[in-house]
Amino acid sequence: MENYRQTFSEINLDHLLHNWSHVTQLAGTDRFVCPMVKANAYGHGAFEVASCLEKEGAKYFGVCLIEEGLALRESGFKSELLVYGGFDKQGAEKILEYQMTPVISTWEQLKFIESQADSPVKVHIKFETGMNRLGFDRSEAEKVSEYFKKSKNLKLKAVLTHLACSDDAAADSGMSVSQLNVLAEIKSFFKPFDIFAHALNSGGILSLSEAPESSILKKERWGFRPGLMLYGYQPAGMKSAGLKPVMTFKSVVQIQRSVPAGATVSYGATWKAKRDSQIGVIPAGYADGIKRQLSNSGEVTIGGVSAPIIGIVCMDFFMVDLTEVILKTGKENWQNEEVLLFGEKSSGGFVSADEWANQTNSISWEILTSVSSRVPRHYLGNAFSIIKD
């Protein structure tokens, strides 16, 4: 579809590859590594991201929904796709029809897949170890193992769990260590099988460089399921790993207008000019992923200078005060000039999506995945020329 918008996000696939190489260095050889491309690859474009990583040797890819897997298959993506989010009977049919790998969390799901599998099907089994979300209870490990010894068509490839506090994984007394101990115990029931055990999301992976050699985190070669770190971010408070943000979200000053002291801006008239002001109208709103909580509190960057968001963020627009930008740069007219919402600055360096996360009591995962489907993605980087062909 043609687009006429000047609000868009640039996706730098070379930065994705930089972050991926960090993952593969930490992984070493023979470790299960499954980049997570669910939620449209955290807003970056599942097909482009998955194709790029596939060219770089990734073998497994994680989606949450069957629909996400189907969209990838329909775009021609052939590599192994793991469906993490669960499924019912009809979903099981689709998973098998489109040759995806089910991540199974209940006996019911196991039976749906078994009853429909007429040739060997790879499966991964999820166990609950502390997150209290998805997975078999740990007490069922032996029974599940016995089931697979007898199953005709189901081929067990891995057991897995999900860490609730992955950024504590380097600490001996943390919750992650206790979850990994449980997973190690669960795995011991599956000795006859040659399987992976995967558990590490970005926080867990990034903890590896901090953990002592004696830690359970290092003693087992836990499989990786990196999400956030691929896209250049890491859990708040962790030591910087030099990752590069992949997404730059940009817009433009569509209209510059003068407002006299005392005039108000946007719905509810919550912002009132204390002085004669220059304001900019930016064509991006909460329907694009500009959180409404940024109203009267967030900032964007214009001409290298921070410009405060003024008034309530609307569905399609928000407004900024340009007065400081004009004072600091000496440039009067900002109409049609670029507005950096977050990402790479043209002068070098980054404005982190974490800033909006902090200003909205949110997290970078949510800020990235909130950039909506009506925001066009422009792909950049040498890596893009490789996947285009």
Ligand X SMILES: Cc1ncc(COP(=O)(O)O)c(C=O)c1O
206 near 234, Cβ under 8 Å? yes
Exactly one of 15, 162, 187, 250 binds ligand X (CB under 6 A); that residue is 162
Q: Which of residues 100-119 bind ligand X (CB under 6 A)?
A: none
Exactly one of 36, 100, 159, 186 binds ligand X (CB under 6 A); that residue is 36
Which residue, 118, 197, 199, 106, is CA-closest to 147? 106
* DSSP conformation letters of 305-335: EEEEEES---SS-EEEE-HHHHHHH-----T
Q: Clarify whether 233 is annotated catalytic.
A: no
Which residue, 287, 278, 289, 288, is CA-closest to 255? 278
Exactly one of 37, 58, 66, 228 binds ligand X (CB under 6 A); that residue is 228
Select the span of 8-16, 201-209, 245-253, 300-308 touching ligand X (CB under 6 A): 201-209
Token pair, residue 357, equals 């996360």
Select the span of 180-188, 197-205, 287-295, 370-378 touching ligand X (CB under 6 A): 197-205
In the set 149, 219, 239, 267, the catalytic residue is 267
Q: Clarify whether 98 is annotated catalytic.
A: no
Neighbouring C-alpha atoms within 13 Å toward the C-beta of 291: 24
In the set 38, 157, 187, 291, the catalytic residue is 38
Number of residues that bind ligand X (CB under 6 A): 12
Write the CA distances from 263 to 266, 276, 279, 310, integer angstroms.
10, 9, 11, 12
With respect to ligand X, which residue has the nearer C-beta, 227 or 289?
227
Select the span of 48-56, 220-228, 283-291, 316-324 touching ligand X (CB under 6 A): 220-228
Exactly one of 19, 109, 176, 202 binds ligand X (CB under 6 A); that residue is 202
Query: Parallel, antiparallel, or unpaired for β 271-272 and 277-282?
Result: unpaired
Judged on CB neighbours under 10 Å (0-12, 13-18, 19+), 229 is buried
* DSSP conformation letters of 92-127: HHHHHHTT-EEEE-SHHHHHHHHHH-SS-EEEEEEE
Kindly state the smallest distance separating residue 33's Cβ from ligand X, in Å. 11
Select the span of 9-17, 184-192, 195-203, 330-338 touching ligand X (CB under 6 A): 195-203
With respect to ligand X, which residue has the nearer C-beta, 162 or 250?
162
232 is a site residue for ligand X (CB under 6 A)? no
266 is a site residue for ligand X (CB under 6 A)? no
135 near 161, Cβ under 8 Å? yes
Coil/strand/helix, residue 27: helix
225 is a site residue for ligand X (CB under 6 A)? yes
20 is a site residue for ligand X (CB under 6 A)? no
357 is a site residue for ligand X (CB under 6 A)? no
With respect to ligand X, which residue has the nearer C-beta, 235 or 280?
235
How far is it between the farthest Cα atoms of the chain?
79
Select the span of 172-180, 224-232, 307-315, 319-327 touching ligand X (CB under 6 A): 224-232
> Annotated catalytic sites, by residue?
38, 267
Residues lying near ligand X in the complex (CB under 6 A) are found at 36, 84, 162, 201-203, 225-229, 365
